[in-house]
Amino acid sequence: MNEITQTIRDLPESSRPYEKCLKWGPSVLSDSELLAVILRNGVQGANSLALANQILSLTKDTSYPGLLGLLHMSLPDLMKVNGIGKVKAVQLKCIGELSKRMASAAARPRLSFNDPVTIARYYMEHLRHEEQEMLIVMLLDGRNHLLGEQTISKGTVGATLITPREVFVEALKFHAVSLILVHNHPSGDPSPSECDVEITERIYRSGELIGVKLLDHIVIGDQKYVSFREQGMLPV
């Protein structure tokens, strides 16, 4: 009897993911075992562990193999796996979103608007998995307290598509005194483009005219970031 045809109950208790978690804690489980616990049930001919391995194998030859690949799989992609219906596909997508929000929540207490690395950590898990560019504006009061954050653009962050007006409409709505721009590069390379530099300069100059200061523009890559402020790239 092989893994494909046997049920989880046919496995020795020491090999069952759920029982292993109860006895030793979740840290001892492999990625497929963790996924099997979440899936709970398999299908005819494949137990939950075999099903978990099938799902992970779909990401093997992608840019994001393993668990990270789940964040980049669509609901239709997941539902192509025999045994993954709409409910389980939604559950898997929600688990991915939950992991990103947990990472942001863990980074928030250390968030300092004078320290770009803390801002990069706060947004890293959210933005580094995005397949489109997103531009977020963080809006601050006179004491550098966060008043709010708004997504200004999702798609291509281009100088012809993003105007200072869009940014400062939000700033004035929140009565912000200063702001920080954050956006991602789906390529994983956070090196600012000419377009990034142009947008930054236009927004900085416009802010000077109306009294809302641009403190920084942080570009997020894959576990890397570039801060205009740290690199001395803000206009003077």
Diameter over CA atoms, the chain: 75
Position with higher pLDDT, 224 vs 128: 224
| Cα dist from 168 to 77, 181, 207, 218, 228, whole Å | 39, 12, 8, 18, 19
CB atoms within 10 A of CB 62: 12
Interval 109-133: pLDDT, tens? 778 888 999 999 999 988 988 888 8
pLDDT attached to residue 81: 85
Q: Which of 60-64, 92-96, 209-213 has the highest mean pLDDT?
A: 209-213
Interval 1-14: pLDDT, tens? 344 445 666 677 67
Question: Residue 133 corresponds to which tokens in the numbers above?
Answer: 């560019």
Mean pLDDT value across residues 31-60? 83
How large is the C-alpha radius of gyration of the chain?
22
Position with higher pLDDT, 46 vs 120: 120
pLDDT for residue 44 is more than 90: no
Mean pLDDT of the residues in the chain: 85
C-alpha 203/C-alpha 1 separation (Å) is: 66
Q: Which numeric CATH code is attached to 111-227?
A: 3.40.140.10
CB atoms within 10 A of CB 172: 12
Which residues lie closer than 8 Å to 141 by C-beta, 6 or more apart? 147, 175, 176, 177
pLDDT attached to residue 159: 42
The pTM for the full model equals 0.70
C-alpha 33/C-alpha 49 separation (Å) is: 6
pLDDT attached to residue 170: 92
Mean pLDDT value across residues 218-222? 95
Interval 75-89: pLDDT, tens? 998 888 888 888 888
Please work out, in degrees rounded to the nearest 5, the angle formed at the alpha carbon of residue 180 by the alpha carbons of 126 and 173. 100
Where are the chain's structural domains?
8-104, 111-227
Interval 141-167: pLDDT, tens? 998 889 999 998 766 554 435 788 889
Which residues lie closer than 8 Å to 149 by C-beta, 6 or more apart? 136, 137, 138, 139
Question: Residue 211 corresponds to which tokens in the numbers above?
Answer: 């009294």
